[in-house]
Amino acid sequence: MKKIERIGVLTSGGDSPGMNAAIRAVVRAGIHNGLEVFGIHQGYKGMIDNEIHRLKSRDVANILHRGGTFLKTARSSRFRTEEGRKQAYLNLKKHNIDALIIIGGDGSFRGADFFSQEYDIPVIGIPGTIDNDMYGTDYCIGYDTALNTVVDAVDKIRDTAGAHNRLFFIEVMGRDSGFLALRSGIATGAEAVLIPEAETHIDELKKYLNEDYSRKKSSGIIIVAEGDDAGGAYKIAELVKKDYKHYDDIRVTVLGHVQRGGSPSAFDRNLASYLGIHAVKGLLEGKTNVMVGIIHKTPAYTPIEQSTKHNKRVNPDLLNCITVLNAYENNLDFNL
């Protein structure tokens, strides 16, 4: 591997709170180690369009607290083509960029891994996704902030649910994973949590609501991950509504992209800063095609091909927590 003197940094895929903190850390860690750092705007699209500019320390001042990503992010179908990747490579060479740091999730890392092997450019990924579904790290940048956003929203919805004797189905992000739904469900005292990793039994849910739960409370919250196998919050609510007579009303709230926004939490700012520094450190140590994460408070480098979301599993104990925490006398044996 040639000596690394110039590195490029980009954000790709869905944005997450804390990405700016990670960019800031990469830039300042690079400068600290005598490197020049170049920001690539709009992800792989910007790499193809040569939207590449050198970043200095002052360029990343006052971005630590901002959500989103000041480098912007975009999806690029051209990067999936041989011609697009070749143009991206030629633009990197114009700026004499020796290595890349990619802040993003599964799809971004797959593209980075392929590009790195195709053109022999060292790449390190930093996990930035509110889904927290990347294998090789306990936490991804943005997850903690999104989790607190969901908890705050559900707490507010519970107030109005109680005032109007309503049952709310609240849909949160999580197309392929239920980490956000599960943790927020425990934190808000949800009556049930429906996630992609566990089969949803509508009949059991109806039985729980009709025969047991309704005798204990006058309102309720059910958290649904958008990728739940029963079809999402609206479909599940319609299926339940056919036979449900115990509430004055059933409502659905889809939190949507509000979960991605907002100023990052202190935890996400610290995590992003830590991972940004260790991404630069990893490149200087000769590491490539790995994702830098944190496991048991220690930096860990995992091969990108192993870091995909399909390898990270929810803790079965957390699923059981929902049942345990909703137990009443003579409660039905209900487990999602």
- What pLDDT is attached to residue 334? 44
- What pLDDT is attached to residue 249? 82
DSSP assignments along 58-100, one per residue: GGGTT-TT-SS-TT-----SGGGSHHHHHHHHHHHHHTT--EE
- What pLDDT is attached to residue 335? 43
Provide the residue type at 104 as one letter.
G
* Terminal CA-CA length for the chain: 51
Three-class SS state of 33? coil
Topology match between the domains 6-142+264-311 and 144-260: yes
DSSP assignments along 111-157, one per residue: HHHHHHHHHT--EEEEEB-TT---TT-S--BTHHHHHHHHHHHHHHH
- What pLDDT is attached to residue 2? 76
CATH of 6-142+264-311, one of 3.40.640.10, 3.40.50.450, 3.30.470.10, 3.10.690.10: 3.40.50.450
User: How far is the CA of 77 from the CAs of 51, 80, 107, 246, in angstroms?
Assistant: 17, 5, 12, 49
- What pLDDT is attached to residue 202? 86
Residue with tokens 């049942």: 323
Domain spans in the chain, listed from the N-terminal domain onward: 6-142+264-311, 144-260
Phi and psi at 68, nearest 5°, equal: 70, -150
DSSP assignments along 232-287, one per residue: -HHHHHHHHHTT--SSSEEEEEE-GGGGT-SPPPHHHHHHHHHHHHHHHHHHHTT-
Q: At what angle are helices 82-94 and 106-119 packed, to 10 degrees?
A: 70
- What pLDDT is attached to residue 336? 44
> Which member of 98, 131, 133, 228 is catalytic?
131
Determine the Cα–Cα distance for residues 32 and 28; give it in Å rounded to an integer: 6
Determine the Cα–Cα distance for residues 271 and 316; give it in Å rounded to an integer: 25
CATH class in words for 144-260: alpha beta
Residue with tokens 């005598």: 34
- What pLDDT is attached to residue 322? 83
Identify the CA nearest to 143 among candidates 13, 234, 17, 42. 17
**Residue 131 is among the residues annotated as catalytic for this protein:** yes
113 neighbors 305 (Cβ within 8 angstroms): yes
Residue with tokens 């995992």: 302
In a structure prediction context, what are the per-residue pLDDT tens digits for the chain, which is 336 residues long?
Answer: 679 999 999 999 999 999 999 999 999 999 999 999 999 999 999 999 999 999 999 999 999 999 999 999 998 999 999 999 999 999 999 999 999 999 999 999 999 999 999 999 999 999 999 999 999 999 999 999 999 999 999 999 999 988 888 889 999 999 989 999 999 999 999 989 999 988 888 888 887 777 655 666 667 899 999 999 888 999 999 888 877 665 568 899 999 999 999 999 999 999 999 999 999 999 999 999 999 999 999 999 999 999 986 778 888 888 888 888 877 665 444 444
Angle at 72 between CA 69 and CA 73, to 5 degrees: 105
- What pLDDT is attached to residue 204? 85
- What pLDDT is attached to residue 203? 84
**How many residues does the structure list for the chain?**
336
Beta strands 36-40 and 123-127 are unpaired
193, β-bridge pairs: 223
User: How far is the CA of 173 from the CAs of 59, 225, 292, in angstroms?
Assistant: 32, 6, 24
Provide the residue type at 9 as one letter.
V
Identify the CA nearest to 192 among candidates 324, 314, 312, 329. 324
